[in-house]
Chains A and B, each alone.
Chain A
Amino acid sequence: MKLKSKINTLAVAAGLGLMALSTPATAGADDNTLNIALGLENYNMDSYFTTHRIGIIMTRHIWDSLLYRDPVDFSYKPALATSFEWIDDTTIEFKLREGVTFHNGEPFDADDVVYTFNFISNPDNEILNQRNVQWIAGAEKVDQWTVRVLLKAPFPPAIDFIAGPLPIYPNEYYAKVGPEGMNLNPVGTGPYRVVSVEQGQKVVMEANENYWAGSPKGQPSIKTLVWRTIPDANTQIAELMSGGVDWMWKADPDQAQMLSAVPDIQVVGGETMRIGFLQFDAAGVSGDTPITNLLVRRAISHAISRQDIVKNLLPEGSQVVNPACYPTQVGCTTDVPTYDYNIDKAKQLMTEAGYPDGFDLELFYYRDTNLAEVMANDLGKIGINVTLNLQKPGVLRDMSIAGKTALIFWTWGSYSVNDASGSTGVYFGNGIERDLARDQQVNDWLEIGNTTIDLATREDAYKKALTRISDQAYWLSLWSYSYNYAFAKSLNFTPAADEIPRFFTASWK
């Protein structure tokens, strides 16, 4: 497989050489069709029964939510709701927009919102991503244009979820066709309506000509979107070069460098909320390993050449991250203890910890072998003899819970939730199986942060928790992930930090 990949890259390099002699196509602009290449297929078009990134992306094009989170400043803008107000810690009231219709002509009003929230919060309906909905108690209609969303308990990021992965469904249509019908023929109020779905192959969408005026998403400029599934990255590149597709993302840095040399193709790096980090088993869940020693954890933190890795191995836009969260997230602070790359200091800490000659250690990881290899090499410089252990994510998660891992290299995208609880809430906290720190003080602070509505109180609690997490080196944040977007030069397109490309704001030059 490795050889195949190398040969593929070689072949693509040869192709790029050939391409320099030929004329690139701009097929998409001519018929106002944007051909999008994606590595994955959306296995279910019903937004509530898919968890893949591609499903999340398509959802934003087909449906609207009550609110819209601005991709640049993360502010919440009116969408299907014109305003909202916290009535108390567990009740939010929304005033709804009048005059909006779904793609099938069904008018939008409070009944749709109440139906959607009651459907997704009912455990019997088995919504796939329970984290998105498990905080919702239900919804009540006040009048035709007013609804109240009820929370089970105070949940500060509620607004972020409402502005994100909770689209509003047409109650009459959904009651009739159910999730299976919605999968086959999705109907929303969004800027694009679905024309055809060929499972595993492609999805075709057309601009919604009756899209409601005043949407923060704007009126779509490109008439047709063709989403094609092309799993092989080299095939995507070949298609992009030959004009078969107009847009792709996640090109490797070396591929991106080659692509940027092709006339009429531009490559743009875009940072995302996904961060890489080392999770230390500080609590000794996996036994009494050297990792339970604070000085060892600090030594490791000083030994990883994060800046060099970001500069040399990650796409443009990636940066070193220090706190256990993504900096834009509400409650996230970058004012935490940091660990600069300092081998001498790391060696000294190892000696102080009683390991002047180092020790053997397994580094578990589930992706980015090249990055894991560099980190293993870094640790070798302070005497830690690292064995790499690649596992599937589900298996690795299991192993960490079962106490079989002292050090794990993870990445986490926070489900694109712009709230510190999106990251800390998964790896720290009372009763959280994946918490390998088990620090009661950290957990108490996070509890306050996770359940208090008052922003100042939350920020204070998160700052304390994040400071202690860094100081005690329970987790070492490494870097943010950036993706390379490669697309036709004739296309106006801007990447967003929440890993959601917005084609409704794209246009042809």
Chain B
Amino acid sequence: MLIYTLKRLALAMLVAFTVSIIAFSLVRLSGDVATAIAGEAATQADIDAVRDKYGLDRPLPVQYFEWFGNIVKGDLGKSLYFQTPAKDVILDRLPTTLWLGFFALCFAVIVAIPLGIIAALRPNTWIDRASLSVAVLGQAMPTFWFALLLMLLFGVKLRWLPISGNETWAHFVIPSIALGYYAMPAIMRLTRAGMLDVLSSDYVRTAKAKGLDTRVVLFKHALRNALIPVVSLTAVQLGFMLGGSVIIESIFTMHGVGHLALLSVQRADFPVVQGIVLILAVIYILMTLIADLLNGWLDPRIRLG
């Protein structure tokens, strides 16, 4: 287990390092940063001054290693837009995105798992077909469209919930549903498939033959095994949600890192963009690492493979 853990850890660090290079390069390749920072009314002298001030005239590898060296020390640089440390700007907004992702995932899991179980228990009936239809709709409908529909219904028409901002828990309800609905179908289908598989297995048949209560068979024997792949998938889905939050946060004016990333790209605030990409990537890598380690612990065969 120790060797497996070390191997996974080394791989995770390698991925993080690669992401840092990509994050750094992509921002620099998207056009002349100095021109973008200097703005509409700038003269050539202003642009040269910007280039000099931020060291943009030096070779890219030199700029990269200086940036990376600072990151190791916990310094993401200064936001060009806010003129405050990029780390503060990002960390100030990160909780909103994490909460949004968490609530969305909760919504997805709470809806998807029972639906998956019900569908598996009644395969090829109207309940199964209805559940699958809900799932298909979730994946087919663009997130922003669904978000706008919810906004118009619950915010504008019924006025039950606030439309924009992130001040109270109520502000998270519509955005979480909109975001979670996209993640829900995959979890639901995996639950359904897992349950169908497990329910037809020998040990469940044996448990039933022993005369055990149906609920005990279902929840104690079948569900526990059916959910193992679902747990892995859920961890990955959280990563996707952090990415999907860009659109949802923009629509609902939630001041999270997704929205910040979008605005920072428009403003050419590259220390912030690089910082967000890196932090989200590290979170995603960590989630995957934890899932890998958990799976390795649960199933020794994975460690050997």
Binding site for B on A (CB under 8 A): 4, 7-8, 11-12, 14-15, 18-19, 21-22, 25, 43-44, 49, 51, 131, 199-201, 228-232, 234-235, 238-239, 241-244, 366, 392-395, 397-398, 401, 426, 433
Chain B residues whose CB sits within 8 angstroms of the CB of A4 once the complex forms: 142, 144
Which of B47, B142, B152 contacts A14 (CB under 8 A)?
A: B152
A-contact bits for B236-254, CB 8 A (1 contact / 0 none): 0000000000000011110
CB-based contact B157/A15 at 8 Å: yes
Chain A residues whose CB sits within 8 angstroms of the CB of B39 once the complex forms: 51, 393-394
Complex Cα spacing A398 to B39, Å: 10
A-contact bits for B250-294, CB 8 A (1 contact / 0 none): 111101000110010000000000000000000000000000000
A-contact bits for B77-106, CB 8 A (1 contact / 0 none): 000011110000100110000000000000
Chain A residues whose CB sits within 8 angstroms of the CB of B81 once the complex forms: 43
Complex Cα spacing A234 to B89, Å: 26
Which of A200, A238, A393 contacts B155 (CB under 8 A)?
A: A238
CB-based contact A199/B92 at 8 Å: yes
A43-B82, A393-B40, A394-B39 given; A235·B152 CB < 8 A: no
CB-based contact B156/A395 at 8 Å: no
Which of B44, B83, B142, B250 contacts A433 (CB under 8 A)?
A: B44
Closest Cβ of chain B to A261, distance in Å, is 15
Chain B residues whose CB sits within 8 angstroms of the CB of A7 once the complex forms: 142, 144-145, 148
Chain A residues whose CB sits within 8 angstroms of the CB of B263 once the complex forms: 231
Q: Is B298 an interface residue (CB 8 A)?
A: no
Task: Spot the interface stretch: B10-18, B107-115, B162-170, B181-189.
Answer: B162-170
Closest to A46 in B: B83
Closest Cβ of chain B to A69, distance in Å, is 21
CB-based contact B36/A241 at 8 Å: no
Q: Is B42 an interface residue (CB 8 A)?
A: yes
Chain B residues whose CB sits within 8 angstroms of the CB of A44 once the complex forms: 82-83
Chain B positions 209-251 with a Cβ under 8 Å from a chain A Cβ:
250-251
Q: Is B304 an interface residue (CB 8 A)?
A: no
Closest Cβ of chain B to A240, distance in Å, is 10
Chain B residues whose CB sits within 8 angstroms of the CB of A200 once the complex forms: 93, 255, 260
Chain B residues whose CB sits within 8 angstroms of the CB of A243 once the complex forms: 159
Chain B residues whose CB sits within 8 angstroms of the CB of A241 once the complex forms: 156
Chain B residues whose CB sits within 8 angstroms of the CB of A11 once the complex forms: 145, 148-149, 152
Chain B positions 21-56 with a Cβ under 8 Å from a chain A Cβ:
31-32, 35-36, 38-44, 47
Chain A residues whose CB sits within 8 angstroms of the CB of B162 once the complex forms: 244
Chain A residues whose CB sits within 8 angstroms of the CB of B179 once the complex forms: none
Closest Cβ of chain B to A238, distance in Å, is 5
Which of A49, A242, A394, A395 contacts B83 (CB under 8 A)?
A: A49
Complex Cα spacing A243 to B164, Å: 12
23 contacts between A and B (CB under 8 A): A11-B145, A11-B148, A15-B152, A18-B153, A18-B157, A21-B157, A228-B165, A234-B251, A235-B151, A235-B163, A239-B163, A241-B156, A242-B155, A244-B155, A244-B164, A392-B31, A392-B36, A393-B39, A394-B42, A395-B35, A397-B41, A397-B42, A398-B32
The 5 closest A-B pairs by CB, nearest first: A393-B40, A11-B148, A15-B152, A18-B157, A394-B35
Secondary structure at chain A's binding surface: helix, strand, loop or mixed?
helix
CB-based contact B40/A394 at 8 Å: yes
CB-based contact A19/B93 at 8 Å: no
A-contact bits for B40-74, CB 8 A (1 contact / 0 none): 11111001000000000000000000000000000
Chain B interface residue count: which class?
A: 35 or more
CB-based contact A15/B156 at 8 Å: yes
CB-based contact B41/A395 at 8 Å: no
Binding site for A on B (CB under 8 A): 31-32, 35-36, 38-44, 47, 81-84, 89, 92-93, 142, 144-145, 148-149, 151-153, 155-157, 159, 162-165, 250-253, 255, 259-260, 263
Chain B residues whose CB sits within 8 angstroms of the CB of A234 once the complex forms: 148, 251
Chain A residues whose CB sits within 8 angstroms of the CB of B148 once the complex forms: 7-8, 11-12, 234
CB-based contact A395/B152 at 8 Å: no
CB-based contact B250/A232 at 8 Å: yes
Closest to B151 in A: A238
Complex Cα spacing A42 to B83, Å: 12
Chain B residues whose CB sits within 8 angstroms of the CB of A235 once the complex forms: 151, 163-164, 251-253
Closest Cβ of chain B to A361, distance in Å, is 23
CB-based contact B152/A238 at 8 Å: yes
CB-based contact A231/B93 at 8 Å: no
Which of A199, A231, A242 contacts B156 (CB under 8 A)?
A: A242
Closest Cβ of chain B to A242, distance in Å, is 5
Chain B residues whose CB sits within 8 angstroms of the CB of A395 once the complex forms: 31-32, 35-36
Closest Cβ of chain A to B49, distance in Å, is 10
CB-based contact B44/A401 at 8 Å: yes
Complex Cα spacing A18 to B155, Å: 11
CB-based contact B40/A231 at 8 Å: no
Complex Cα spacing A40 to B25, Å: 28
Complex Cα spacing A232 to B294, Å: 41
Chain B residues whose CB sits within 8 angstroms of the CB of A15 once the complex forms: 152, 156-157
Closest to A241 in B: B156
Chain A residues whose CB sits within 8 angstroms of the CB of B82 once the complex forms: 43-44, 199
Complex Cα spacing A393 to B164, Å: 30
Which of B84, B151, B152, B255 contacts A201 (CB under 8 A)?
A: B255
